[in-house]
């Protein structure tokens, strides 16, 4: 019997400070790119619980989860990966910014608009991160 593949659900937090957005640099297979802090949702865990846990693991910051901002999907052309990305606004509560222990994590940085435009960001949501809309948006497939 063939095992059915399921999409991976990833939550991510948009933390802004003085007009800059916190991102985390990842390195996999010699490729470097930036992501919003966050990660996979475990079975039985709410989106908010997962985001608080992942944010703490990757940044050492305690956050409050705010409004849902947008949803996108990342589907590989060869169908090897399917990720549902759910993005929330987050608010800083406490802690000192510190990079998590995972080997793929390379740097934490608040990026301004110019810096953001010159970086590889996955999924490619640079324009949406800079928007100030108050409605939820479905962004479709953003695989690159």
Q: Which long-range CB contacts under 8 A does 36-42 form with residues at least 24 apart?
A: 36/12, 36/87, 37/12, 37/13, 37/108, 38/10, 38/11, 38/12, 38/13, 39/10, 39/11, 40/8, 40/9, 40/10, 41/9, 41/10, 41/11
Q: Is 131 a catalytic residue?
A: no
Q: 16 is written with which tokens?
A: 């802004």
Q: What is the DSSP letter of 22?
A: E
From the list 64, 102, 107, 144, the catalytic residue is 107
Residues tagged active-site: 107
């Amino acid at each position: 019997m063939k095992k059915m593949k399921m999409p991976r659900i990833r939550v991510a937090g948009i933390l802004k400070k003085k007009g800059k957005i916190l991102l985390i640099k990842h390195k996999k297979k010699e490729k470097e790119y930036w992501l919003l802090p966050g990660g996979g949702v475990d079975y039985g865990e709410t989106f908010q619980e997962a985001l608080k846990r992942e944010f703490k693991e990757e940044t050492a910051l305690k956050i409050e989860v705010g409004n849902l901002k947008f949803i996108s999907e990342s589907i590989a052309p060869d169908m090897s990966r399917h990720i549902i990305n759910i993005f929330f606004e987050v608010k800083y509560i406490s802690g000192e910014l510190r990079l998590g222990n995972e080997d793929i994590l390379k740097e934490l940085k608040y990026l301004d608009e110019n810096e953001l435009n010159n970086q590889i960001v996955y999924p490619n949501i640079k324009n949406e991160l800079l928007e100030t809309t108050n409605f939820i948006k479905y962004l479709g497939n953003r695989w690159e």
